[in-house]
Amino acid sequence: MNKARIRIGGATGYWGDTDMAIPQFLAEGNVDFIVFDYLAEVTMSILARARATDPSVGYATDFVTSVIKPHLTAIASSGVRLISNAGGVNPDSCAAAVRELIRAADMDLRVAVVTGDDLMPQLSGLTDLDCREMFSDTPLPAAAAIASANAYLGAFPIARALDGGADIVITGRCVDSAVTLGACIHSFGWTFDQLDHLATGSLAGHIIECGAQATGGNYTDWHDVADGLHNIGYPIAELTSTGELIITKPAKTGGAVTVGTVGEQLLYEIDDPQAYYLPDVICDFTSVTLREEPGDRVIVDGAKGRGVPNSYKASITWADGWRGGSVSFYVGSRAAEKARLFAEEAVVRSRRKLSALGVEDYQELCVEVIGDESHYGSAANTTGSREVAVKIAARHAEKQPVAILLRELTGAALGAPAGLFMFAGARPKPSPVFRLFSTLIPKHVVDIRITTADESHSWTDNQNVDAGLPSEPWVIPHPSKGETCIDVPLEQLAWARSGDKGDKANIGVMARRPDYLPFIAEVLTTDYMRTRFAHFLTGAAVDRHYLPGLNALNFVLHNALGGGGMASLRNDAQGKCYAQIILDTPISIPKALIGDD
């Protein structure tokens, strides 16, 4: 299939995302593909636990119940094609459920499944490969503890499924952007060595993979789009065969598509922007530029491809004990003191019981009082707050000690300081802790298959292109302060967004004007970030990367999330608020440069 231009709608950013996007794209009428991203590391562990209980589940059921079932007739009549990683750890069962809906409706839609990402049958082989964790160099966890093991597949198998006539493609774990790049490869006939085109298609996928985060969701300037968030439009990527890219959204929807909304999402959850590794291409985003056009349209240009890696990243989740916690609230004078005393009271009672049982102490305890002199924003004047929330959580190798703490957090209520209240509901229960083990595996050990109702065939990814990574980082310009300077908050000068990758957090900061960037960079150093986030970091490593095309900085904070989303006891286990923490940072900048901003 060779087309000059396609439009791809990004419908979901995680399992549980709203179902607003499908009606928008179907009403738009000229969307060629709709892509769905449901999977994260924590999602894979949840799905793996579900499949262990019932072999027929383990996929994102929302895709079947909220997308296919209510919109099947409209999907079929529109001719739009769907690509989804809803298969999770059981893509064949997901496809079977979709095919049954199609059969019951007596429709002629072809469903293809891409498998091979599931490495659980190959655990012994991974041990033979001596797989090491990418960041800590630790060995593979014991096989008995492993809940899921999946390679992040690429886009070419998806394209081959589309080439075979599939109307709906369902995959297991693939990189989030692959569902978009697969549509591009199929539509334009791109080959493995068209690196810049592959990088552009991957960037398009990266921008739309989190749905409304590209169109005003989680936006620094949320107040500019507040009136339309109830009807926020989901993103559409327009691409051409020559690698041109425009981001837009459906007509008559809320939100916005601006340099700020797109730039924030581009910076979201990346590491080194000069070497962003994907299975199909190593991307360099440092020269990417954004330009607004009227009508909620942003032109994205400058993505470069630097090679094709010879390995897949694999995500392995493994069980490491139990955790649990609860949130309560205190009001009145000295609310924070009372909250901390309540937490201490429950912990002391619990430890007394553990001692009586001859059980070891908790491996980790976490008490966070929000509304106190909170470490989430030291500039806020909250001393003496009369309303606080207190979260108490613990982790232990065994389930019972966690259950004991949860019981005491409820049972201590009548003997606690005055002013306590809780949201009504059942007592929280312990939940298993799953940790992430990331590693690299050779591509040749992964057996990828593309299956339809009629046939199944294998696909081998043996491409490896070394185009050469940049040898030197970009140099940030020095500020010139030959005139009167004033201090203004970072938020006045920049947009910012943060996210997670395992136990690492990234914070992207993009200057609102190019001439602001040197002054921002002078303050936002790695030393500053280490100091500002010292209470979160369990290591000292902070990296800073420069993206001159965006006038942006990307910070990577290592060991910053208390183990990451599957294991952390923190309120913000995925670093989503980290950008908000730094937006109050004072930046010294020439007064004349600010003007009326």
pLDDT (tens digit per residue) in 84-134: 999 999 999 999 999 999 999 999 999 999 999 999 998 888 888 888 999
What region does 89 belong to: left with phi over 0, alpha with psi -120 to 50, or beta? alpha
pLDDT of residue 383: 56
User: Beta 552-557 vs 485-489: how paired, if at all?
Assistant: unpaired
| Alpha carbons 158 and 238: distance in angstroms, whole number | 19
295 and 337 in a single domain? The answer is: no
Q: Are residues 62 and 166 in the same domain?
A: yes
Residues 6+ apart with CB under 8 A from 226: none
User: Is residue 90 domain-shared with residue 234, that is, in the same domain?
Assistant: yes
C-alpha distance from residue 256 to each of 11, 42, 400 (Å): 16, 30, 49
Asked, for residue 554, whether it belongs to a domain, the answer is yes
Reading the block at residue 374, the tokens are 């909170």
**Do 294 and 331 lie in a common domain?**
no
Q: How far apart are CA 166 and CA 187, in angstroms?
A: 13
User: Do 198 and 159 have their domain in common?
Assistant: yes
Which residues pair with residue 327 across a beta bridge?
391
Separation CA 323–CA 212 (nearest Å) = 32
Q: Is residue 473 part of a domain?
A: no
Closest C-alpha to 446, from 46, 168, 153 = 153
Residue 381 is predicted with a pLDDT of 41
Q: Could you tell me the two tokens for 212? A: 């409304």
Query: What whole-number distance in Å separates Cα of residue 523 and Cα of residue 296?
Result: 33
Residues (pLDDT < 50) of the chain are 377-382
Does residue 521 lie in a domain region? yes
Domain that holds residue 526: 485-594
Q: What is the pLDDT of residue 240?
A: 98
- Residue 128, in any domain of the structure: no
Edge-to-edge strand ranges of the sheet holding 81-84:
289-293, 297-301, 245-248, 236-240, 5-12, 33-36, 81-84, 168-171, 111-115, 448-451, 456-459
Torsion sign, CA atoms 582, 583, 586, 589: positive
Name the burial class of residue 591, with classes exposed (0-12), middle (13-18) and buried (19+) by CB atoms within 10 angstroms of its CB. Answer: exposed
- Note whether 286 and 327 are same-domain residues: no
Q: What per-residue confidence (pLDDT) applies to 465?
A: 78
d(CA 154, CA 131): 20
Query: CATH number for the domain including 419?
Result: 3.30.70
The total domain count for the chain is 3
- Could you tell me the pTM of the whole model? 0.95
The reply to whether 186 falls in a domain is yes
pLDDT on residue 596: 59
Which of 301, 332, 356 lies at the terminal end of a domain, its last residue? 301
φ/ψ bin of 549: left (φ > 0), alpha (ψ from -120 to 50), beta (otherwise): alpha
Is 187 found in the same domain as 111? yes
Burial 52-64 (b: 16+ CB within 10 A, else e): eeeeebbbbbbbb
Sheet holding 276-277, edge to edge: 276-277, 282-284, 304-305
Structure tokens at 44: 């894979």
